[in-house]
Structure 1
Amino acid sequence: MLLFAGGDGTARDICDTLAASATLSTEMAVLGIPSGVKMHSAVFALTPRRAGEIAARFLLGKSTEVTDSEVMDIDEDAFRSGRVSASLFGYLRTPQDSVGLQATKSGTPIEDAETPAEIARRIIARMEENTLYIIGPGTTTSAIPEALNIPNSLLGVDVISNKRLVSADATENDLLRLTDGKPTKIIVSVIGGQGYIFGRGNQQISPSVIRRAGKDNIIVAATRRKLLELHGRPLLVDTGDPDLDTELSGYTKVVTGYRESQVHRVSS
């Protein structure tokens, strides 16, 4: 087994290398420890702990089945056009584990294009004065700055206050500095097909930042279709802090439209 730590770029490099060897590409099992920024591929375990558990079962011969899992990465042409879209680059053979491995990220379908605007209207209508709003990456959340006619980072984390941009593409240090002593809310979207709300693509919103805002000040936004694509699976958190992951687990309200919301389970 080849066990690696990284993100989609590392998975692509491994895919290219193994493809050059007919023997390795068909016989080598590969498993990703999630530790990158972009992790759209289906070759990663849900958490580093899950990766260890899956690898142990496989190496001890308790689970030897393998399956072809998609290696995905950001479509650069789509990104330059202002859209986040993942493209298929190949397959790696991973241990078969429908519970411990994450699903491939799915994008926002064309028929959902109107919904993010409705979600943005709802959130903007309820924004409080003199409060910092940390806006996580994604097409759903990017509709908020778009509705306010201010720039957004799309793949980065932005900060808004009084409906004006305070910080673009903010780092963890930026967020800690800006939120010091100030009321703060965090707005995150759901990664389609996977269900992550923390720990995938928004690591700038660290455990320290989340604790500073508080669980009750987290706003989760998603289209109804994204929730349906989970087929009953919970939303996921992988902040890197097991205690915080446990604290965030349970049930949360998800904004799905201007006058619509759903209650969804959250798990680590």
Structure 2
Amino acid sequence: MVGIRVGFIVNPIAGMGGRVALKGTDGVVEEAIRRGARPISPEIVRLFLRELTGYEESRDFEFLTGPGPLGEDYLREFRLHFRVLNHRRIRYREIHGIPIPDTTSEDTKALSKAMLGKVDIILFAGGDGTARDVYSVVGRSVPILGIPTGVKMFSGIFAVSPESAARVLVEFARGRARIEEREIMDINEDAFRKDDVKPREYGRALTPVFELLVQGSKEPLKVEEEGILRATAEAVAEELLERDGIYFLGSGSTVKMIKDLMGIDGTLLGVDVVEVKDKKARLLVKDATEMDLLKFVDKNPKVIVTVVGGLGFLFGRGNQQFSPKVLSKIPKENVIVVASPSKVEGGIVRVYTGDRGVDEKFRGYIRVRVSPWMEKIVRVL
């Protein structure tokens, strides 16, 4: 048995803005709830702990965590060994009938500081903002690993899924995970909501890495591929205009290029609903939410998405509007993937929605359009 001390911090409101097209949750919790959002972080944390408790080593781990929704509630539920760092009393408030804890980034920072010198690794559940908060306190003094619950997860310190985070933690305890320097990235959310991407690297953290269970960081398009990608977008836009029907066009610069070529004033970082009829495209919903997409799923829509560079995701990073409810009603053959060759040079892409049935439907192999005249068959993990 291998016993280690694990710092465990949960951002209980992370990810709430994703399915309701807010592209983040910082400062917009009330608006997210008004649009129908509900906390998703608790369920993802439970997926992590359910997987972790399947390993015998977990019974020898000692967790240091925050009070209540900052970690204590979940560790108690799964009967793991833990000690609470009671830095303050957590209170709740109701927003449109939904109880929300009064936690902030200062809680993450306070707990990170209290864990310094007392743990072998810090696990946190959140997005890029939470990663930045942890790193701002601990720097490179202790390895950190993210359980992906946020909207923006462009940093290279996140496990590809909560289940993968459990495996990486166990392999770290076994001494089999290698420690790498990985980028801490964050984006200005206000600018992000206006389709203005301003990524910034805030530093490089130490992160345990095992096999392909930790994602890379978001990468820019290679200059030499810009021409071929433009030609591919032109070919795809022309083909879509030849087929009457409903289309869900996803986020990213590649799909935005297709939207522009179809004559649609769509979003760069959101999902748009488009109708094509008689070789003309009409924008039905701009920057659609999960609920908007559900209104059209019975019309056999086609879904056009790209691969997030460096992260390798089709669904699960930056396009949470494609929720399990939506994707459960979309046949795999209705998904059209367009990407530059470098984004699929490894031969794999990922889907993670948190619903095993939906994820399994998309696993196997899928065609990716990499040029006007070529598709590549890649494996979906």
TM-score bracket relative to the smaller structure? 0.7 to 0.9
1:26-52 deviation digits (Å, cap 9, x = unpaired): 2x2211001111111110001110001
Q: Which residue of 2 aligns with 1:12?
A: 132
- In the TM superposition, what is the alpha-carbon distance from 1:251 to its structure 2 partner? 1.2
Q: Which of 300, 315, 336 is 1:183 aligned to?
A: 300
Kindly indicate whether residue 161 of structure 2 is the aligned counterpart of residue 47 of structure 1: yes
Query: Residues 131, 79 of structure 1: CA spacing in aligned structure 2 closer, same or farther, 3 A cutoff?
Result: same
Moved more, 123-132 or 170-179: 123-132
Kindly indicate whether residue 227 of structure 2 is the aligned counterpart of residue 114 of structure 1: yes
Kindly indicate whether residue 275 of structure 2 is the aligned counterpart of residue 161 of structure 1: yes
1:84–1:139: 8 Å Cα contact kept in structure 2? no
Which secondary structure state, in structure 2, belongs to the residue aligned with residue 32 of structure 1? strand
Q: Which residue of 2 aligns with 1:22?
A: none
- In the TM superposition, what is the alpha-carbon distance from 1:2 to its structure 2 partner? 1.2
Q: Which of 250, 265, 268 is 1:136 aligned to?
A: 250
- In the TM superposition, what is the alpha-carbon distance from 1:264 to its structure 2 partner? 1.3
Counterpart residue identity of residue 224, structure 1:
P
Q: Which residue of 1 aligns with 2:363?
A: 249
User: Who wins on radius of gyration, i.e. which is larger?
Assistant: 2
2:275–2:283: 8 Å Cα contact kept in structure 1? yes
1:193-250 deviation digits (Å, cap 9, x = unpaired): 221111111111112212222111000110112223xxx2411111111122222111
Query: Residues 226, 78 of structure 1: CA spacing in aligned structure 2 closer, same or farther, 3 A cutoff?
Result: farther
Which secondary structure state, in structure 1, belongs to the residue aligned with residue 373 of structure 2? coil
Which secondary structure state, in structure 1, belongs to the residue aligned with residue 254 of structure 2? helix
Q: Which residue of 1 aligns with 2:107?
A: none
Q: TM-score, normalised by structure 1?
A: 0.87
- Matched residue count: 256
The alignment-based identity, stated in percent, is 39
Moved more, 185-194 or 66-75: 66-75
Moved more, 62-71 or 132-141: 62-71
Counterpart residue identity of residue 256, structure 2:
S
Query: Residues 185, 86 of structure 1: CA spacing in aligned structure 2 closer, same or farther, 3 A cutoff?
Result: same
Query: Residues 189, 168 of structure 1: CA spacing in aligned structure 2 closer, same or farther, 3 A cutoff?
Result: same
Counterpart residue identity of residue 100, structure 1:
L
Q: C-alpha separation between the residues in 2 aligned to 1:257 and 1:82?
A: 26
1:137–1:201: 8 Å Cα contact kept in structure 2? yes
Q: C-alpha separation between the residues in 2 aligned to 1:45 and 1:38?
A: 14
1:105–1:191: 8 Å Cα contact kept in structure 2? yes
Query: Residues 80, 117 of structure 1: CA spacing in aligned structure 2 closer, same or farther, 3 A cutoff?
Result: farther
Which secondary structure state, in structure 1, belongs to the residue aligned with residue 377 of structure 2? strand
- In the TM superposition, what is the alpha-carbon distance from 1:126 to its structure 2 partner? 2.4
Equivalent runs, 1:88-103 vs 2, <5 Å: 88-103=201-216
Q: Which of 308, 312, 318 is 1:195 aligned to?
A: 312
Q: C-alpha separation between the residues in 2 aligned to 1:64 and 1:142?
A: 38
Q: C-alpha separation between the residues in 1 aligned to 2:220 and 2:187?
A: 11
Query: Residues 97, 245 of structure 1: CA spacing in aligned structure 2 closer, same or farther, 3 A cutoff?
Result: same
- In the TM superposition, what is the alpha-carbon distance from 1:75 to its structure 2 partner? 6.7
Structure 1 unaligned segments of length 5 or more: list them. Answer: 20-24
Q: C-alpha separation between the residues in 1 aligned to 2:228 and 2:191?
A: 20
Q: C-alpha separation between the residues in 2 aligned to 1:15 and 1:82?
A: 26
Q: C-alpha separation between the residues in 1 aligned to 2:343 and 2:370?
A: 10
Q: Which residue of 2 aligns with 1:262?
A: 376
Moved more, 77-86 or 36-45: 77-86
2:177–2:210: 8 Å Cα contact kept in structure 1? no
Q: Which of 32, 36, 40 is 2:146 aligned to?
A: 32
Q: C-alpha separation between the residues in 2 aligned to 1:161 and 1:167?
A: 10
1:140-193 deviation digits (Å, cap 9, x = unpaired): 1111111123222111111111111111111101100133x2120111101112
Moved more, 206-215 or 162-171: 206-215
Q: Which residue of 1 aligns with 2:82?
A: none
Which secondary structure state, in structure 2, belongs to the residue aligned with residue 5 of structure 1? strand
Query: Residues 87, 77 of structure 1: CA spacing in aligned structure 2 closer, same or farther, 3 A cutoff?
Result: farther
Q: Which residue of 1 aligns with 2:291?
A: 173
